[in-house]
Amino acid sequence: MQSLAATGIDLLRADDPELHRMLTDELRRQEESLVMVASSSVADPTVLACQGSSIVNVTAEGYPGRRYHAGCCHVDEVEQLAIDRAKELFGAFYANVQPHSASVANELVLTSLLRPGDTILGMDLHQGGHLTHGSPASLSGRLFTAHGYGLDASGLIDYDQVLAMARELRPKLIICGATAYARTVDFARFREIADEVGALLLADISHIAGLVVAGLHPSPVPHAHITTTCTHKQLYGPRGGLILMGPDAEALAPDGRHTLAQLMQRSVFPHFQGAPAVNAIAAKARAFAWCASEEFTEVAKRILGNARALAAAFDERGYRVISGGTDNHIVLLDLTDRGLTGRIAEQALESVGIIVNKNHIPGDKRSSTVTSGLRLGTNTLAVRGLEPADMARCAELADRVLSRVRPLDDRTFLLDEVVRQEVADHVARFARNFPISRYPVTGAAPAGSFQGA
Ligand code: DSN
């Protein structure tokens, strides 16, 4: 297995130097950047090894023990291992590890539970929700009659509004979970609301799955009928999706003929997907094992501690932190009173190697390509070993740029080249102190350290 991967890299360098150079440059870019995109992550080398293994050659439509192709004996073992580890990790009764992404998982949950035109209620995209929670820009908002709930004046989910909308609209499905919300989600409360109006509850924990696993955020699995997550953000696994269910796995599905678990099995395959990405399933199994380790719990504590320290550091520098702080990995900044758009701030910071993303803030009037806010996250910094004490330096470097940017309009700006270069050099030197792997990419794993597949 090792020689195949090593040979592949050698051959790539020789046969396709252009592509090899691009991939090498990308690794260097990551090593020399402070990546604070909230959905970003760093896949462990053992995850990369699974992704690059020869299991990718196997076509395996179906499920373990029930395949439509021969040659699946090892794939079956790997998929069953991934299922068992996912169930153990989340305390779930059911797990499906085949979805290619959380977006796909959400769309297939919606299309299997609902009929076109049915009413759904999810968090509004502009208030922090996700495209697949009912945005008109996605299938979820086109196929279904979607309504969006939002935040109250203090920037917290307005549960009274959720209840009032649910009572009035009688949705078939309520979706909770967010992509730009820094506070704890009360899954039990959502379930109470869903039960009152006879709706099913879908919880999408793509952004907070690692904190859930580490016990640093309440789990939706006992409450939601169905829980979805991606595996590449806080689980540090491959790009992919996961469907989980708690006790409702055995509940009767809306079709009146199947349990929810049976419906999900059919929905993933054959209704929505064909042959699964078996290399990704192997990598998911690897990631789930690591997420069960004490080492991961320490990383999760740093995710949270770093985010709180980062929010405090920006607050001290006069930035408005939406909702006043954070309970997870996300820090949302309102740039309105600094005279900057999210787009300008994102680009100025990228020019020095600080990678964030522009984001709508509650009540934002600007388009999604401009926005008035920034979303920062600490998944990548935490797994690279940065501590809460390092967050003041991260905020200081960002502020040195943002306080010198001169906007010309909503999209263009001037930044003094001497300042830019000085901060860029500082960021690269600082970032290189924190390898993007748990041990240096070019070196061997230290004796006694965690070793994977
Ligand atoms: N949902 C998008 C985000 O939060 O950035 C991509 O995963």
> What atom of ligand 1 comes closest to residue 207's alpha carbon?
4
Concatenated DSSP letters for 100-142? SSHHHHHHHHHHHH--TT-EEEEE-GGGT--GGGT-TTSHHHH
pLDDT < 70 stretches in the chain? 438-453
Question: What is the predicted pLDDT for the residue at 442?
Answer: 42
> Ligand 1, residues 41, 125, 179: which to mutate, most atoms within 8 A of Cβ?
179
pLDDT reported for residue 444: 39
Q: If you write DSSP's letter for every residue of 9-46 in order, what string do you get?
A: HHHHHHH-HHHHHHHHHHHHHHHTSEE--TT-----HH
Q: Tell me the best of 100, 106, 130 to mutate to test the pocket of ligand 1, counting ligand atoms within 8 Å of each CB and taking the most.
A: 130
Residue nearest to atom 7 of ligand 1 (CA): 39
Instruction: Please give the pLDDT value at position 393.
Output: 98
What dihedral angle (degrees, nearest 10) is formed by the CA atoms of 151, 217, 221, 281? 110
Q: Two tokens at 321?
A: 């932190």
Domain ranges in the chain are: 54-291, 295-431
Distance (Å, whole) CA 304 – CA 216:
8
54-291 topology per CATH: Aspartate Aminotransferase; domain 2 (3.40.640)
DSSP state of 259: B
**pLDDT given for residue 447 in this prediction:** 36
The backbone torsions φ and ψ at residue 40, rounded to the nearest 5 degrees and listed phi first, read -85, 165
* Residue among 107, 127, 206 to mutate when testing ligand 1 (max atoms within 8 A of CB): 206
The whole-number pLDDT of residue 441 equals: 47
Among protein residues, the one with the nearest Cα to ligand 1's atom 5 is 39
What is the token pair recorded at 277? 């990405």
CATH number of 295-431: 3.90.1150.10
Can you tell me the distance from the alpha carbon of 126 to that of 79, in angstroms, rounded to the nearest whole number?
37
Residues with CB under 6 A from ligand 1: 39, 130, 179
Tokens linked to 432? 């290189």
Nearest atom in ligand 1 to the alpha carbon of residue 102 is: 7
pTM: 0.95
Q: Considering only CA atoms, which residue is closest to atom 1 of ligand 1? A: 179
H or E element at residue 84: helix 73-90
* pLDDT score at 397: 98
